[in-house]
Amino acid sequence: MSWAVSRVLRDRDAGLYLTGVVVSGFGTSAMALVSGVWVKSLTDSNSLAALTGVCLWAATLFGPLIGVAADRVGRRTLLVRTNLAMAVVLITLLTVRSADQVWVVFAVMTLYGVSGVLLDAAEAGLVGTTVRAELRGEFNGLRMSANEGMKLLAPLIGAGLFVRFGGHGVVLLDAATFVAAAGVFALVRPGEEAKRPEARRRWLHETREGVRGLRQRPAPRRLVLAGALTMAAAGLNGAAIYAAADEGLHRGPAFVGVLYAVQGVGSVVAGLVAGATMRRLPEGVFAAAGIVVFAVGVALRLVASVEVALAGSALIGLGLPCVLIAAMTAVQRETPEALIGRVAATATTLMFAPNALTAAAGAGLIATADHRFVVAGAAVLGLAAAAYAARAPADVFPKPVQSPEPAAR
């Protein structure tokens, strides 16, 4: 593993890309946590706090449409401009000072989600032109470690800033990280991209090409569907986290930052070992094993113990990234470069839209039911996802293709 990882890190553009992910991920992790804590503090409502997560994930429902933009515009340019635009949008949160203004938080978090889908699609295309196919497992693992590893520090720092300065301090931090990430991505020198057609077809036609591009590829399709079930479980689990901290552990909302920080430890480990493990195991086995670990971690939140809850968070962080890394590596490996933005966005929608839907359902359930009912449902759904992934025969996952197929179909 260390040899392949060092090869990735020695590459100038791959290193810059990962730096941009770290900088942007730091601000995103802090803001994602604090948005919920902020709403909870203003309204004293667990359900409204959970709805901030729904806003963040809602844009994934329109991923295939959003992904077309990533195939129409230069990926590096899109990354730079989107990061700068989000820095400007975040500044509007400085107007929020009372409970009747929480709609501004919801609106900005919705735009945050749109930018996240767009950035993910552009990044997938940038990986395809920057990183060699044989190193993408390691690269995606490192990217996951860099992104999710921000949960080690960002939530704690974000929670600390919130306690000291309120939500406005975190807003300024996140806006600064967007600007810094834009500067780093501007330095990346992407490889040659597929030539954009001079005459663009209708947006919906290009969207259908992205959907068809995933449907016709069994390996990424199977992994993406397993990821969808897993993220549905994660949505339920996330909706219950504030109630679990409050009612189960009798801790304040800021303690959620501690749980996410511990989860980050597991995510860092998962990302570091993912590439080497996927070279030794069929991708379906790797994904299924990770999902089982995730489900066990979720189930541990049924126990009213701080120590057990922390152990559960570590297992969630260790297991959840596995299916996501496997799925996106398969998408990058088997999709022609001209289609990668749309196919990656379609995969993102299929995997993360269930998270938005179950998070919304969970937010409604915890308003009327015991949070342990929601947590138990998440654990059971996770085990079902693992069973689905494990059914895949080893030969479903072919070796990397040697030459890309034509983009036209």
Closest CA to 133 of 264, 237, 45, 8: 8
What is the tens place of the pLDDT at every residue in 208-257?
776 777 776 777 888 889 999 999 999 898 888 888 888 878 887 778 87
* Mean pLDDT of the 155-180 span: 86
- pLDDT value at residue 226: 92
Segments making up each domain of the chain, as ranges: 2-190+206-394
Alpha-carbon distances of 320 from 53, 166, 386, rounded to whole Å: 17, 31, 11
Contact between residue 207 and residue 61 where contact means Cβ atoms under 8 Å apart: no
pLDDT (tens digit, 9 = 90+) per residue, 190-204? Answer: 655 544 544 455 666
Q: Which two tokens stand for residue 252?
A: 């304040």
Task: List, for residues 4-47, the tens digit of each pLDDT value.
Answer: 566 666 777 777 877 887 888 788 878 888 888 888 888 888 77
Phi, psi of 282 (to 5 degrees): -60, 145
Task: Output the pLDDT for position 7.
Answer: 67
CB 184 within 8 A of CB 124: no
What pLDDT, on a 0 to 100 scale, did the predictor assign at position 281? 82
Q: Is the pLDDT of residue 156 over 50?
A: yes
Are 319 and 293 contacting, i.e. CB atoms less than 8 angstroms apart? yes
pLDDT of 328 higher than 70: yes
pLDDT of residue 405: 39
2-190+206-394: CATH topology is Growth Hormone; Chain: A; (1.20.1250)
Mean pLDDT is lowest, of 138-152, 226-240, 275-289, for: 138-152
State yes or no: pLDDT of 113 exceeds 80.
yes
CA dihedral angle for residue 237, residue 211, residue 216, residue 133, rounded to 10 degrees: -70
